Amino acid sequence: MTDAPTATAASTTGTSPRPESPRSADRARAESIARAAATAATGVEGVHAIGTAFSRTIGALRVGPLTTTSVPGVRVDLQGDRVVVGIGIVAAYPVPVRQLADEVRTRILGELHETGPVTVDVQVLDVHGPFDPEEPKQTLEEALEPASVRASRAAAARVAESADRARTAAAETADRARTAAADAAATASDRAAETRDRAAETVADAGDRVAEARDRAADAVGEAAQQAAEQAGEARDRAAGAAHDAH
């Protein structure tokens, strides 16, 4: 008789699943409803995205543990049998905002018609058009992506963008350094060539001045020799005349 309780306890511990708490069941239900609402809204023509700045703009729903879901831009409040869904969307220009909100509400109500009494609050948070930076329409996968994953990917994108900017800045700096070095080398080469040219001109000028000096010296020597010869001839002539007069 002492073995049966032990066997029962072992069987219960080893094989029986832990019963799901009411809160966990409600959270799972809220998540399912949020995903269905996001799927319905994303399929409406004119919805560019859901979830932009939702936490700052939607205030109609009671703040509580069931209002926030993992689907960005969608809140679900379970009030007994009644379900209250809040969703924020970004409209694509130039779709009429009121008409778009009504269409989204109708689609969500149709998607959740088997859930029971449902109230849908649609808020158009922004309008995306040609006046905004280019941004593709949000896909269903992106709409259903948890906010934490989206934030991680956005952070990674910012890091990659910062790295790209750093690499671009480094490349530009290296290009400027190479250009400056090339310019400095070219300038130094030009100055060296100018110095060589000036030195060559100076040497050539010096050679010309030396040649001119030699020419002037030669001319002076020639003139002196000619004058001396002329004077010697005159002296001989005078001496010859004196000798003739003496006889």
How crowded is residue 31: how many other Cβ atoms within 10 Å of its Cβ?
Answer: 15
Q: Which pLDDT tens digit goes with each residue over 179-206?
A: 999 998 889 888 988 889 888 888 888 8
Q: Name every residue whose Cβ is closer than 8 Å to that of residue 132 and which is 6 or more positions away in sequence.
A: none
Q: What angle do CA 31, 117, 54 make, to 5 degrees?
A: 45
Q: Indicate the pTM of the whole model.
A: 0.51
Q: What angle do CA 131, 59, 23 make, to 5 degrees?
A: 120
Q: Which pLDDT tens digit goes with each residue over 125-147?
A: 999 888 877 777 777 777 776 65
- For the chain, 247 residues long, give each residue's pLDDT as a single digit of tens: 334 333 333 333 344 455 556 678 888 999 999 999 999 999 999 999 987 644 434 433 333 444 567 888 899 999 888 999 999 999 999 999 999 999 999 999 999 999 889 999 999 999 988 887 777 777 777 777 665 666 676 677 778 888 888 898 888 988 999 999 999 888 988 898 888 988 888 888 888 888 888 888 888 888 888 888 888 888 888 887 777 777 6
Per-residue model confidence (pLDDT) at position 132: 75
Three-state helix/strand/coil letters over the chain: CCHHHHHHHHHHHHHCCCCCCHHHHHHHHHHHHHHHHHHHHHCCCCEEEECCCHHHHCCCCCCCCCCECCCCCEEEEEECCEEEEEEEEEEECCCCHHHHHHHHHHHHHHHCCCCCCEEEEEEEEEEECCCCCCCCCCCHHHHHCCHHHHHHHHHHHHHHHHHHHHHHHHHHHHHHHHHHHHHHHHHHHHHHHHHHHHHHHHHHHHHHHHHHHHHHHHHHHHHHHHHHHHHHHHHHHHHHHHHHHHC
Q: Which two tokens stand for residue 9?
A: 């306890």
Per-residue model confidence (pLDDT) at position 25: 85
